[in-house]
Amino acid sequence: MLEVSKSGFGDYQCNNAMSLFPRIRESATNLGNPNAVGQAIADNLPPSRIVESTSVVGPGYVNIVLSSDWIAQRIQDMLIHGIESWSPILPVKRVVLDFSSPNIAKEMHVGHIRSTIIGDTLARIFEFANIEVLRRNHVGDWGTQFGMLIQFLFEKFPNGEEAANQAIGDLQSFYRDAKKKFDENPDFKGRAQQAVVRLQRGEDRYLAAWKSICQISRNEFDLVYKRLNVELEEKGESFYNPYIPRVLEELTGKGLITESKGARVIEGRKPPLIVVKRDGGFNYASTDLAALWYRLNVEMAEWIIYVTDVGQQQHFHSVFSAARMAGWLPDQKEEKYPKASHVGFGFVLGADGSRFRTRSSDGAVRLVDLLDEAKSQSLAQLIKRLTENGQIAKWTDEELDKTSEAIGYGAVKYADLKNNRLTDYKFSYEQMLSDKGNTAVYLQYAHARICSIIQKSNKDVEELKMTEFITLGHPDERSLGLHLIQFAEVHAFDYSFIEAV
Ligand code: ARG
C-alpha cells in the first residue's frame, strides 16, 4: 500500500516491508531483515514512466519519487479534458440528499445555513462523480402548529385572504403572536386544536389557508437559496402523510411496533422511538420513516444522507435502526448499500462563545440578516481598498454590488466549510472577510490574479492549453503539481469521509 510521504524523502511511501518480514523470514532466508525486504520491493517495481526514482531508508521504508514530467502531463491532460476527467467512479448511481429543510412560518436561522452549505457542497461532490442527486428540501410544513396559525389568521382577518397575505408578510412575528395567544388563552387553544382536525380532514378553507402560509415562507426561503446559488426541490413533511399509515402497518405486521403508555413505539435503541402519539397523531419520526421508505422504494436511492445539526443524531440513528430491523436497510456488516447516513454538524457560536444570537430580538440570527451584513461589510472593505489605490472611479455600481456579493457570500460559505464539521465554530465577519490566511477572500484574490495573468498574455485560454506546455522546473511548482494530482486521490476512497463522525 502506498501513502503520501510525510518524511520528505519521497512523494509516496510504502511501509509494508516491516510487517511482511516476520511472515516471510522462514521461506525467504536471503532477506535477512526488513530493510532487505524493502530493497527487494524497490528492485522489483515494474519499470514505469510514473516513477522517477526509489530509495529505501531505515527499517525498510520504500520512498518513491514521481516523475515531474508525468505529473505535468497529468495536469495538462486534465486541463484539456476538463476536471471531470478526474472524477472518481462510485458504486452508487442515485443519492437522496436531505438538507436545508427549514420550518414553515419560522424564519431560516443560522443553523440552517450550515445544513444548506454543507448539503449543497456534498451534492456538488456527488454530481462531480456523475451521480444523480435528488436534492430534497424536507421542510417542516405539517404539524399541530398549523392549527394555531390558521385559527389565528381567521380570527385576525375574518374578511378574507388578500389582506391576510399582506399582513403575514412578517411571518416570524405572526408566529410569535399566534403562539402567545395559544399559550395564554385556553379557549383559543381549543379552537386551534379543532382547526388541526379540520385541516387534516382536508376542508377547503383550511387547506387554502395552509397553502398560503406555506407559500409566503417558500418565497422567503427561495430568496436565500438564490443568493447562495443553491438548488433544492421541496418535498416537505406533508408530502409523506399519505404513506404513513401503510408504512406503520408494515412495521406493525413485522412485530416492531408496541404499545407504551398510550403511545405506539419502536423499541430497539433507547429511548424508544415514538411513532404514534398518545392522541393518535403522527409525528416527526413517523414522517421520517415514511420518507425513508419512499426514498428507498419509490425513488430507488442507494444512499440517503441527512444533513442536520448534531442534536438530531439520536433521532436519525433510531430511524435507521428501525429500518434495519424492518429489513429495509441491510445489516451494516453484510452489505453496504442501500444505506442511510446522518451528516451532523456543530453549532455556530458568537464571539463570546455562546450560541449565536441576534443583538435585537430573542430568536437566533436570521439568515437574510447575516447575508446582508456579510455583503455590506465586504462592500465597505472593497470601497475602502479601491479608494486607497485610486481605482474607485473605474468601478460601476453594478460591479461593486456583484463583487461584494461574491466576496461576502463566498466568505460565509467558505468559513463554514473550512471548519471541522462536527465542532462548534465562532462566527466572525472580521475573520471570514480577512484577505489574509485561509479565507475565501484570499482564494478569490488568487483566482483573480491568475485570470489577470491570462488576460495579460493576450491569448485565449483554450489556445493556451493546447500550445503552452506545463513544466515543473521550480521546487515550488513541482510541489504544487503534486498537490494538484492528489485531488483525484482524495475522492478515491469511496466517499467514506462523508460518514466520518
Ligand atoms: N425541519 C427540521 C429542522 O429544522 C430538519 C429536517 C431534517 N430532515 C429530516 N428528514 N428530518 O430541524
Q: Determine the pLDDT at residue 496.
A: 66
Confidence of residue 383 (pLDDT cuts 50, 70, 90): very high
426 CA from centroid of ligand 1 (Å): 23
Q: Is the peptide bond before 271 cis (omega within 30 degrees of 0)?
A: yes
Query: Above 50 in pLDDT, residue 361?
Result: no
Confidence of residue 102 (pLDDT cuts 50, 70, 90): very high
141 lines ligand 1 (CB under 6 A): no
Residues 272/273/276/282 CA torsion (nearest 10 deg): 160
Task: Give the residue whose CA is nearest to atom 11 of ligand 1.
Answer: 288
328 to each of 94, 98, 154, 317, 324, how far by Cα in Å?
Answer: 17, 18, 43, 14, 6
Write the ipTM. 0.99
- The 10s digit of each residue's pLDDT in 297-344 is 999 999 999 999 999 999 999 999 999 999 999 986 767 899 999 999
Q: Which of 106, 112, 138 to mutate to test the pocket of ligand 1 (most atoms within 8 A of CB)?
A: 138
Q: How many CA atoms lie within 13 A of 147 on its CB side?
A: 17
101 CA from centroid of ligand 1 (Å): 5
Query: Above 60 in pLDDT, residue 126?
Result: yes
36 to each of 8, 16, 24, 25, how far by Cα in Å?
Answer: 21, 12, 12, 11
To which CATH superfamily is domain 2-66 assigned? Arginyl tRNA synthetase N-terminal domain (3.30.1360.70)
- The 10s digit of each residue's pLDDT in 412-432 is 999 889 988 998 888 888 888
Q: How many CA atoms lie within 13 A of 216 on its CB side?
A: 21
Q: Domain residues of the chain, as ranges?
A: 2-66, 143-224, 367-470
- The 10s digit of each residue's pLDDT in 153-171 is 999 888 766 666 666 667 7
Q: Which atom of ligand 1 is nearest to the CA of 308?
A: 7
Q: Which of 101, 221, 224, 299 to mutate to test the pocket of ligand 1 (most atoms within 8 A of CB)?
A: 101
Q: Determine the pLDDT at residue 359.
A: 44
Strands (E) across 335-461 are located at 339-345, 348-349, 425-426
397 CA from centroid of ligand 1 (Å): 39
98 lines ligand 1 (CB under 6 A): yes
Task: Give the residue whose CA is nearest to atom 6 of ligand 1.
Answer: 101
Q: Determine the pLDDT at residue 357.
A: 59
Higher pLDDT, 393 or 436: 393
Query: Above 70 in pLDDT, residue 501?
Result: no
Confidence of residue 184 (pLDDT cuts 50, 70, 90): very high
How far apart, in whole angstroms, are the C-alpha atoms of residue 457 and residue 455?
5
102 lines ligand 1 (CB under 6 A): yes
> pTM here?
0.88
Task: Give the residue whose CA is nearest to atom 9 of ligand 1.
Answer: 138
Of 111, 139, 498, the C-alpha closest to 312 is 111
- The 10s digit of each residue's pLDDT in 274-305 is 999 998 889 999 999 999 999 999 999 999 99
236 lines ligand 1 (CB under 6 A): no
Confidence of residue 360 (pLDDT cuts 50, 70, 90): very low
Helix (H, G, I), strand (E, B) or coil at 402: helix
How far apart, in whole angstroms, are the C-alpha atoms of residue 243 and residue 423?
36
Confidence of residue 362 (pLDDT cuts 50, 70, 90): very low
How far apart, in whole angstroms, are the C-alpha atoms of residue 309 and residue 316?
11
Q: Determine the pLDDT at residue 488.
A: 78
Average pLDDT, the chain: 89
Query: Above 90 in pLDDT, residue 226?
Result: yes
Query: Above 60 in pLDDT, residue 237?
Result: yes
Q: Is the peptide bond before 338 cis (omega within 30 degrees of 0)?
A: yes
Residues 112 and 208 sit within 8 Å (Cβ to Cβ): no
Residue 423 sits at the vertex; the CA angle it makes with 117 and 94, to the nearest 5 degrees, is 40
Q: Which atom of ligand 1 is nearest to the CA of 312?
A: 12
Q: Which of 114, 221, 308 to mutate to test the pocket of ligand 1 (most atoms within 8 A of CB)?
A: 308
Q: Determine the pLDDT at residue 497.
A: 64
Higher pLDDT, 346 or 497: 346
137 lines ligand 1 (CB under 6 A): no
Task: Give the residue whose CA is nearest to atom 4 of ligand 1.
Answer: 102
Residues 487-500 have a mean pLDDT of 64
Q: Determine the pLDDT at residue 173.
A: 80
Q: Determine the pLDDT at residue 491.
A: 58
User: Is residue 19 within a helix (H) or strand (E), and if so which, with residue range?
Assistant: helix 17-24
176 CA from centroid of ligand 1 (Å): 21
Confidence of residue 28 (pLDDT cuts 50, 70, 90): confident
439 lines ligand 1 (CB under 6 A): no
306 lines ligand 1 (CB under 6 A): yes
103 lines ligand 1 (CB under 6 A): yes
Task: Report the percentage of the chain scoring pLDDT > 90.
Answer: 66
111 CA from centroid of ligand 1 (Å): 11
- The 10s digit of each residue's pLDDT in 42-96 is 999 988 999 999 999 989 999 999 999 999 999 999 999 999 899 888 889 999 9
Q: Determine the pLDDT at residue 227.
A: 94
Q: Determine the pLDDT at residue 495.
A: 64
Residues 6+ apart with CB under 8 A from 274: 263, 264, 265, 283, 285
Of 109, 106, 104, the C-alpha closest to 137 is 104
Confidence of residue 203 (pLDDT cuts 50, 70, 90): very high
Helix (H, G, I), strand (E, B) or coil at 14: strand
Query: Above 50 in pLDDT, residue 148?
Result: yes
Q: Is 87 exposed, middle or buried (0-12, 13-18, 19+ CB in 10 A)?
A: middle
Query: Above 80 in pLDDT, residue 437?
Result: yes
114 CA from centroid of ligand 1 (Å): 13
308 lines ligand 1 (CB under 6 A): yes
Query: Above 90 in pLDDT, residue 255?
Result: yes
Confidence of residue 499 (pLDDT cuts 50, 70, 90): low
Residues 495/307/357/233 CA torsion (nearest 10 deg): 120
